[in-house]
A = this chain, B = another copy of it.
Amino acid sequence: MKTYDKQDFPVSNVRRFLEPGPIVLVSSVWKDKMNIMTMGWHMIMEFEPSLVGCYIWTENHSFEMVRRSKECVINVPTAEIAPKVVGIGNTTGSKIDKFNKFALTAQPAVKVKAPLIAECFASFECRLADGSLIDKYSLFILEVVKAHVARAPNYPRTLHYRGDGIFMIAGTNTARYRKLFRPEML
Contacts and interface: CB of A to CB of B under 8 A. Distances in A.
Nearest to A54: B43
A86 interface: yes
Interface string A69-97: 00000000000001100110110000000
Interface string A7-46: 0000001011101111000000000000000001111110
Given A16-B163, A162-B15, A168-B20, A83 B43 contact: no
A172 interface: yes
A153 interface: no
A110 B47 CA distance: 36
A39 to B, nearest CB: 10
A174 interface: yes
Contact of A43 (B22, B43, B170): B43
A99 interface: no
Q: For the complex, would chain A's binding face be called helix, strand, loop or mixed by DSSP majority?
A: mixed
Contact of A45 (B83, B139, B162): B139
B55 A163 contact: no
Given A53-B139, A169-B173, 15 more contacts: A19-B40, A19-B160, A20-B162, A42-B43, A45-B55, A45-B137, A82-B177, A89-B185, A90-B180, A90-B181, A90-B182, A155-B168, A168-B170, A168-B173, A168-B174
